[in-house]
Every structure is written in structure tokens, then in C-alpha cells.
Amino acid sequence: MTDTLLALSTDRCRIAPLHADDAAALAAITDASVTAQVHFLPAPFTEADARALIAGSGGGDVFHAVRDRGEGRLQGVIGVHRRDAREVEVGYWFAASARGRGLATEAVNAVVREIAGSRPGAAIVAECHPDNERSRALLRRVGFLATGQIGRRPGRVLMKWRPGSGIDVC
């Protein structure tokens, strides 16, 4: 796997790297509920911030757009971050309007399985705030288990993906 997922599709979404013309839509979905959880995003998150994040995507940190298959609207973002040669971190945020419909679970599951298939033996991890029950539940559905370790980011716990430990996503 390169550090960029070229393109993935699921039943309900398409996943591909963010592009410069996504800046306005990215700023629109990155509201205070997102910036309160994602430590590296400024609040408020402006279109200029979105342009900077997109321009900096590449190499070891690639941000992917999650678009609905119908209208192609930006619904969320999945980041794939190379922590070292044997470890990849996955992070995400989704528009308030996209939450609670299973779209994030479907998209994160697709990305994790692509990473696992293209980097056999690599550890796939995620960091989550212990109070963010919705995000922890999503990670558990996809197959992540708590490690009992603290994450690199302030106030986060480390979770690690274990093949076969999640539920099948329908």
C-alpha cells in the first residue's frame, strides 16, 4: 500500500484523497463537535484551515474524503497516518448529518481492511478519548480492542485492530 488509498467504494460511499476543491465542504462539516474531539484542528475550523490541511496531506499523513455515492457530497474524512514502518493509525470525523446512520462504520471498516490487505503484519491502531463512547463503539464494531495503554495524544487511549474481532458490517 502506498500512503494514499487510490480509491475505495462501499455500498454507500466512495473514499478517495481530499482535493483542493474540497476546502469549502471540509470547513462546512468540521464544526465545533468535531474540533472539540480532534486535537490538531483549530476552532473554529475555517476554509483557510481546510486548504492548509489538504495541502499538507501526503507522505505519512493522508486525509481521505468520504462521499455519499448518490450526490457525491462530502460526508466525512478518514486520515491514514504512518506512525512508523510497522504501524498505521486511522482517525476520522464525519458531518453531524452523517452520524448515526452506519456510514462511518462502513467507511472506516473499508479503509482498515484495505490497509490490512496491503500491509500484511502491520499494526493498525486508533486513538480515542475515553469519554467519546460513540467513537469507541464504532472502533469496536470494526474490530479494534482496547490495549490498556495511553495514546500519544493528550487524553487518548490506544486501541489496536485485531482481525476477526469486530462484527461483520452489513
| pLDDT of residue 168 exceeding 70 | no
Q: How would you list the strands of the sheet with 61-68, edge to edge? A: 8-9, 13-17, 61-68, 74-84, 87-94, 123-128, 157-161, 144-150
CATH of 8-161, one of 3.90.1570.10, 3.40.50.2000, 3.40.50.970, 3.40.630.30: 3.40.630.30
pLDDT higher for 119 or 169?
119
Residue-range domain boundaries for the chain: 8-161
Contact by Cβ (8 Å): 108, 138: yes
| pLDDT of residue 50 exceeding 80 | yes
Residue 154 — pLDDT band, cuts 50, 70, 90? confident
pTM of the predicted model, to two decimals? 0.92
Neighbours of 129 (CB within 10 A): 18
| pLDDT of residue 1 exceeding 50 | no
| pLDDT of residue 21 exceeding 70 | yes
Percent of the chain with pLDDT over 90: 82
| pLDDT of residue 3 exceeding 70 | no
Computed over every residue of the chain, the mean pLDDT equals 92
